[in-house]
Amino acid sequence: MENLCIHTITTKPWNLEEAVVKFSEAGVKGISVWEDSTLKLGAEKSGRLIREHGLEIVSYVRGGFFPSINAAKREQAIEKNKKMMEDATALGAPSLVLVCGAEPMQSLENSRMQIQAGIEALLPLAEELNVKLSIEPLHPMYADTRSAINTLKQANDIAEAINSPYVGVAVDVYHLWWDDNLENEIKRCGENGNLFAFHICDWSVPTVDMLNDRGLMGEGCIPLSNIKKWVENAGFTGYHEVEIFSNKFWQMDQDIFLKKIIEAYKEYQIQ
């Protein structure tokens, strides 16, 4: 349980106060905080509440969305990310996860160049605030609008090109499990000091919704024990973050769902 972190969106029906109390009672150690869950209390109070319940804030989620064919919109995205980095600092989160974005009106290569430029524009503030930026590659089914970074290789390439201790990668099994280069790219990510975060869930079979049908660990077809081993062999010792978007689980009694998460996590841990 030492490395168990849960994203607030995983138990979306709970507000932050409820989630913090329930996670803490259940022995969860880490929490990754989505922006929407902080809106009621504000970032600073949210951070205090979380720490008072003995939880460690792992990441603030999620910035990014850099590409656009419109230069003014690209500038707005950078400003929005700066605001989120300031919120991360007020919250007490050491890192901001980036869902990098994609613009269907231009090539993926152009979008990737704009993503790199966008992240580079954030570097001075990242250093000033000591907030790390984690590039999260997304499954190619989201390459139209959510992310032009779809493999760990592409994320590694950008992180290495930027070459800053403040820029790394969030590896999410849901997005990357299918990639036959995954083991090597995880190794590469670790060797370069870029393996910042690790997100877990499972791929439901059949998947009935492209966004909100993620499974609990062990329920689907992701080779979780292999990927976990690769990540650990790459030197990763951080939290294993349970990030599940699921209409099915959000309809369930969240106390029962949290029990299921913990059971699934314990099974996953011994594999």
| Site residues, Zn ion (CB under 5 A) | 172, 199, 243
CB of 114 to Zn ion, least distance (A): 21
Q: How far is the CB of 101 from Zn ion (least distance, A)?
A: 15
Q: Which is nearer to Zn ion, 157 or 245 (CB)?
A: 245
The least CB distance from residue 44 to Zn ion, in Å, is 25
Contacting residues for 23 by C-beta, under 8 A, at least 6 apart: 6, 31, 53, 55, 258
In the complex with Zn ion, which residue's Cβ is closer, 74 or 154?
154
Smallest distance from the beta carbon of 201 to Zn ion, in angstroms?
8
Task: Output 7 or 112, the one with its CB closest to Zn ion.
Answer: 7
Identify the bridge partners of residue 200 per DSSP, sorted by sequence position. Answer: 242
Whichever of 170 and 258 has its CB closer to Zn ion, that residue is: 170
Phi, psi of 67 (to 5 degrees): -75, 145
Q: Which is closer to Zn ion, CB of 139 or CB of 199?
A: 199
Angle value at C-alpha 227, between 147 and 61, nearest 5 degrees: 40
The single residue listed with the structure tokens 């150690």 is 29
The nearest distance, CB 7 to Zn ion, in angstroms, is 8
- State yes or no: cis peptide before 206, omega within 30 of 0: yes
Residue 259 belongs to what H/E stretch?
helix 254-270
Hunting for tokens 């329930």 — which residue is that? 22
